[in-house]
């Protein structure tokens, strides 16, 4: 029995030692690649990209389910993103609250007949709405599909841009987030199959008018652990995996991918998750 317990202790010890050494290696790689990425990003003039007529249009797809408390400011912030040609599709995924009513009141929606090719399976669509306040906004009202993927599929069927960016409807994005996320695509459009951003927890931070003002750690211990876990998974882990060309997944909260026929020609995995 003693030998068995010793064997278990040694097994657990070396397991945790190997795991922590692996995370340490990932941290070193992530710090180096992040510093290099920041230097490379500073060499780009985002205002030049914003003013260029060659930047491809992009469609933002934001699934929304029971988001009545935040949908107004979230959609307004997405429409204020700094990008030259932008379309926003909000998919009301069978909300049982007043999400659709809030959108009607804030953006003066009117029923329209939109181009909708049902290439991807989704729950039935009830109606399409276009905003009289900002014609870039299209709202899809559909029956609940039971998953975010179902709502995203409906948005993809209605999107008309060569690239789509899928975001959570309660996410807070920086104004130039789309410009920065599209830099790898513009640099090498034939090889990049998808790009994503670093996801952070906003608990404890100051948000005014839907915009991040100051980044702070939360006060509760469990929330601090959540912040650390997000940094480990989205910053340290994925930066290191990307350097080994082993990135197999991009965060669903903020990602951009080719759309339509362009997506069928992509064969080489994405190089970065930035």
pLDDT for position 33 = 84
pLDDT (tens digit, 0 to 9) for every residue of the chain, 274 residues total?
788 888 889 899 999 999 889 888 888 988 888 888 778 777 777 777 777 777 889 999 999 999 998 899 889 989 998 898 999 999 999 999 999 999 999 999 999 988 888 889 999 999 999 999 999 999 999 999 889 999 999 999 999 899 999 998 877 888 888 888 888 888 888 888 888 877 777 777 766 666 666 777 778 888 888 888 888 877 788 888 888 877 777 777 888 888 865 454 443 333 343 3
Say if 172 falls within a structural domain.
Answer: yes
Residues 84 and 142 in one domain: yes
| Judgement on whether residues 168 and 212 belong to the same structural domain of the protein | no
Segments forming the whole domain that contains residue 222 = 2-43+200-243
CA distance linking residue 204 with residue 217, whole number of Å? 5
User: Strand 163-167 to strand 137-142: parallel, antiparallel, or no bridges (unpaired)?
Assistant: unpaired
166 and 205 share a domain?
Answer: no
Structure tokens at 181: 């996320």
Token pair in block for residue 92: 């009301």
Same domain, yes or no: 152 and 228: no
Q: Is residue 97 domain-resident?
A: yes
Count of domains for the chain: 2
d(CA 9, CA 2): 11
The pLDDT of residue 186 is 82
pTM of the shown model: 0.82
87 occurs within a structural domain: yes
Compute and round to an integer the Cα radius of gyration of the chain. Answer: 21
Q: So what's the pLDDT on residue 65?
A: 92
Q: Do 39 and 63 have their domain in common?
A: no
- Residue 183 is predicted with a pLDDT of 84
Q: Which helix (H) or strand (E) holds 111?
A: strand 109-112
31 and 72 in a single domain? The answer is: no
Calpha distance 158→156 (Å, rounded): 5
Within-domain flag for 22: yes
| 37 and 64, same domain (yes or no) | no
Does any domain span residue 207? yes
Task: Give me the CATH number covering residue 130.
Answer: 3.90.550.10
Residue 184, C-beta contacts closer than 8 angstroms, at least 6 positions apart: 192, 195, 270, 271, 272, 274
| Separation of alpha carbons 179 and 86, rounded Å | 11
Contacts of residue 182, defined as CB under 8 A and 6 or more positions apart, other chains included, come to: 49, 55, 56, 58, 163, 195, 256
DSSP β-bridge partners for residue 137 = 88
Residues 40 and 183: their CA atoms lie apart, in Å, by 10
77 and 169 part of one domain: yes
Whether residue 219 sits in one domain with residue 119: no
Same domain, 64 and 165: yes
Q: Within this chain, do residues 140 and 223 fall inside the same structural domain, yes or no?
A: no
Tokens (6 digits) for 6: 């010793």
Q: In terms of domains, do 214 and 238 share one?
A: yes
Distance CA 160, CA 58 (A): 8
| 50 lies in some domain | no
Whether the Cβ atoms of residue 162 and residue 56 lie closer than 8 Å to each other: yes
Which residues contact residue 223 at a Cβ distance below 8 angstroms, ignoring those fewer than 6 apart?
201, 203, 204
CA angle 248, 62, 157 (to 5 degrees): 80
């Amino acid at each position: 029995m003693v030998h068995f317990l010793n064997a278990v202790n040694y097994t657990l010890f070396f397991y945790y030692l190997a795991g922590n050494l692996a995370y340490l290696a990932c941290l070193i790689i992530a710090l180096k690649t992040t510093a290099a990425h920041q230097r490379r990003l500073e060499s780009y003039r985002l205002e030049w990209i914003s003013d260029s007529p060659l930047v491809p249009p992009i469609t933002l797809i934001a699934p929304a389910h029971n988001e009545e408390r935040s949908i107004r400011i979230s959609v307004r912030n997405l429409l204020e993103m700094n990008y030259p040609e932008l379309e926003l599709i909000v998919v009301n995924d069978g909300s049982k609250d007043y999400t659709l009513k809030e959108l009607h009141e804030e953006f003066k929606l009117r029923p329209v007949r939109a181009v909708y090719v049902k290439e991807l399976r989704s729950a039935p669509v009830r109606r399409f709405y276009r905003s009289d306040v900002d014609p870039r906004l299209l709202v899809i009202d559909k029956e609940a599909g039971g998953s975010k993927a179902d709502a995203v599929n409906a948005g993809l069927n209605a999107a008309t841009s060569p690239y789509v960016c899928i975001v959570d409807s309660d996410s807070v994005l920086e104004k130039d987030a789309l410009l920065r996320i599209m830099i790898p695509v513009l640099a090498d459009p034939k090889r990049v199959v998808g790009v994503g951003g670093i996801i952070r927890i906003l608990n404890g931070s100051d948000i005014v008018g839907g915009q991040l003002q100051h980044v702070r750690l939360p006060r509760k211990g469990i929330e601090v652990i959540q912040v650390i876990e997000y940094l480990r998974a989205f910053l340290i882990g994925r930066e290191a995996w990307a350097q080994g060309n082993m990135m197999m997944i991009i965060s669903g909260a903020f990602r951009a991918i080719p759309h339509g026929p362009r997506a069928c020609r992509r064969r080489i995995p994405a190089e970065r998750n930035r």
